[in-house]
Amino acid sequence: MSKVKVVTDPEVIKLMLEDTRRKILALLRDREMTISQLSEILGKTPQTIYHHIEKLKEAGLVEVKRTEMKGNLVEKYYGRTANAFYINLYLGDEELRYFARSRLKTKLEIFKVLGYEFNDEELLNIMDELLKKEHEYKTDISREIEAKEEELKDFSNEDIIHAIEWLAMARMGRDEEVLNLLERLGGILKKEE
């Protein structure tokens, strides 16, 4: 299994973001599972889980890892094709852009509950631009990780994911546009004491 897989196809990203498929991918992060195990945990019929597994297999996100005989039945155990999937919601697809912005709007509501006051659209635009830049850098770094998969095999998934985060921060710290956006963000999200 790969440590990191960069997903750039907007249709595959949309497929991954569907609620049941997202939950299946999360469950398969920890261990290989059968359709009946997933069905029981998720409270869905085996037919429904099978349908989602097939979609994930077609997209190259899940594969059969092993099979076991249970009486006369063959049980297939499914697992992810990578420990971490990096997606970029800013690939020009309007539906994905809308999804990214709607997730940011939730953060605005949290900021308001915490007592911050701001112009929603101004803050949303700044956050959106920052997230776009972050996604670009993480996608590029993830591609570098993919290319060095063999040399990185002894490192833990957690360490690799943290390395991607740190490298993205370092690149963002050298990006004048990002620094200007962060300065504006800091000016907006500041409580008057």
pLDDT tens sequence across 64-92: 999 998 888 889 999 999 988 888 777 76
User: What's the whole-number mean pLDDT along residues 132-158?
Assistant: 89
Per-residue pLDDT band at 193 (split at 50, 70, 90): low
Beta strands in 31-107 (DSSP E): 62-70, 73-80, 82-87
Supply 35's token pair: 């359709």
Q: What pLDDT is stored for residue 83 in this prediction? A: 87
Last residue of a domain, one of 33, 68, 84: 84
Tell me the CB-side half-sphere exposure of residue 94, using CA atoms within 13 A: 0
Residue 80: give the domain boundaries.
2-84
User: What's the whole-number mean pLDDT along residues 137-163?
Assistant: 89
Per-residue pLDDT band at 156 (split at 50, 70, 90): confident
- DSSP state at residue 69: E
* In a domain? residue 193: no
Do 79 and 155 have their domain in common? no
Q: What pLDDT is stored for residue 174 in this prediction? A: 97
Amino acid at 40: E
| Separation CA 158–CA 117 (nearest Å) | 36
**How many structural domains does the chain have?**
2
* Structure-model confidence comparison of residues 24 and 89, the more confident one: 24
Q: Which residues contact 147 (CB under 8 A, 6 or more apart)?
A: none
User: What's the whole-number mean pLDDT along residues 159-188?
Assistant: 95
| Separation CA 150–CA 116 (nearest Å) | 47
How many Cβ atoms are within 10 Å of 23's Cβ, its own excluded? 15
Do 65 and 114 have their domain in common? no
5: enclosing H helix or E strand: strand 2-7
* Structure-model confidence comparison of residues 115 and 157, the more confident one: 115
Block residue for tokens 């897989």: 5
User: What's the whole-number mean pLDDT along residues 32-57?
Assistant: 97
* In a domain? residue 145: yes
Q: What pLDDT is stored for residue 176 in this prediction? A: 97
User: What's the whole-number mean pLDDT along residues 108-135?
Assistant: 93
Last residue of a domain, one of 57, 84, 111: 84
Summary mean pLDDT of the chain: 91
Do 6 and 22 have their domain in common? yes
3-state secondary structure of 33: strand
User: Is-above-0.85 flag for pTM?
Assistant: no
CATH value at residue 160: 1.10.20.10
| Separation CA 182–CA 49 (nearest Å) | 43
3-state secondary structure of 141: helix
Is 25 a residue whose pLDDT tops 80?
Answer: yes
* In a domain? residue 176: yes
